[in-house]
Every structure is written in structure tokens, then in C-alpha cells.
Amino acid sequence: MAGRSWLVAGLVLAVLGSALAVIYMRHESRQLFVELSALQEAGHELDVEWARLQIEEGTLTADGRIERIARERLDMVPVSEESRVMVRIDGE
């Protein structure tokens, strides 16, 4: 009879240990899922920011904008045919 009670006690301990392991793993899984969700949200925000920056870059490098700034801030004008000078280098 004593051997049987040790067997039952061992099985009860194994079941309790297994239950505790399941509880711990579920908790760990939930924590990792929350972290994954936060990282996915951060990645989405970075994608949105990247798209905004690409649009901004396209706007800032548009030829018309560059030409307008060159005229307004630097008083630059397009080169006319009369003001062009051709330079010839002999020996090359």
C-alpha cells in the first residue's frame, strides 16, 4: 500500500508541475504577443513616416521648386544664347 501512495503522490506532483508549466508558458506567450504587437505598430509607424519623407523629398527636389528658389533667393536667370561662351582647349 505504501508503494501505491508514493505512486499517487508522484503523479499528483507531476500533474501540478505540468499545470504550473502550462500557466507559465501561457503567461510568457501573452507577454511575447504584447511585445510583438507593439513592435508591429512601431514598424507600421516607421512605414508611414518613410512614405511621408519620400513625398517630401519629391516635393523638395522638384525642378520647378529648385528653379523658383534659384530665381528668388539667388537672383539667378537661365543662360541666354548670347551670353554663352564656348571654350576650346587645344592639345586634348
pLDDT tens by residue, 29-45: 999 999 999 999 999 99
Residue 9 phi/psi, 5° resolution? -60, -40
Residue 7 lies in a domain: no
How many domains are there within the chain? 1
pLDDT tens sequence across 44-81: 999 999 999 999 888 877 878 888 888 888 888 888 88
Q: Over the range 40-60, which residues count as b (16 or more CB within 10 Å of their CB) and which as e?
A: eeeeeeeeeeeeeeeeeeeee
The band of 92, judged by pLDDT with boundaries at 50, 70 and 90, is: low
Type of residue found at 2 = A
Residue 16 lies in a domain: no
- Mean pLDDT of the 14-26 span: 97
Give the model's pLDDT for residue 82.
83
Residue 11 lies in a domain: no
Quote the domain boundaries for residue 29. 25-75
